[in-house]
Copies of this chain bind each other. A is one copy, B any other.
Amino acid sequence: MDVASAVKSMLAVRVYQDRPIADEVVTRIVEAARLTGSSRNRQDWDFVVVRSRDTLQKLGTLASTGPFIADAALAIAVVVPDAPVGYIDGARAAQDMMLVAWGEGIGSNWVGNMNKPEIKALLGIPAEKMVLTVIPFGYPAKKVGAGRKERKPLAEIAHDETFGVAYSG
C-alpha cells in the first residue's frame, strides 16, 4: 500500500477477527518501530510483544479505555522514559507500527491510560519506565471503508505563514 494511501485510509479498528497474525508479520510491525527516527537517535524505547491469549485478556481487563485488547491477535506495549522525549519518540514509533500493520491489512487502535502498576507488573516493566500505550492489532472483523473519516476542514487547522490566517493552498 502506498504511504499516502495508508495515511489517508487508516482508521481505528477495535473489533478483530479471530485470526492470528503470522510471526513474520509481527516482526515486520516491530521492525517499523525499530527503524523510526528518535531524538538524537537515542532509541530509548522498548516494545513488549504480547501474543499470549491469557495476557491479552488480562490487558483488556486492566485497560479502562481498551477492553477490546482482550480479542486482539497481538498487542504491543510501547515503553519509554516518562518525559517529553518519551512521548514524542514513542508516539512516532507507534505511528510507524500502526501504518505498517495497516499496509498488511491489519487494524489497530491507540489505547492510552496504560501506565499503571498492574500493567507494569503483568509485563515485567521496570517501575521507573512509562507505558505510553498498549496497541492491539488484528485483522478487522468488518470490511474497512476507504478512509471515511470525521476530520476538521484543512482551513480550520492549517495556517498560512501566520497563526490565524487560513491556509488556502
Contact = CB atoms under 8 A, between A and B. Distances in A.
Interface in A33-60: 33-37, 39, 41, 43, 45-52, 55
Given A112-B39, A151-B35, A151-B43, A48 B91 contact: no
A92 interface: yes
B161 A48 contact: yes
Interface residues of A, number: 75
Nearest to A102: B3
14 contacts: A1-B3, A2-B2, A3-B3, A7-B32, A7-B96, A24-B169, A34-B157, A34-B158, A47-B158, A79-B163, A92-B92, A99-B99, A123-B162, A124-B162
Interface of A: 1-8, 10-12, 23-24, 26-28, 30-37, 39, 41, 43, 45-52, 55, 79, 84, 87-89, 91-92, 94-96, 99-100, 102-103, 110, 112, 123-126, 132-133, 147, 149-152, 154, 157-165, 167, 169
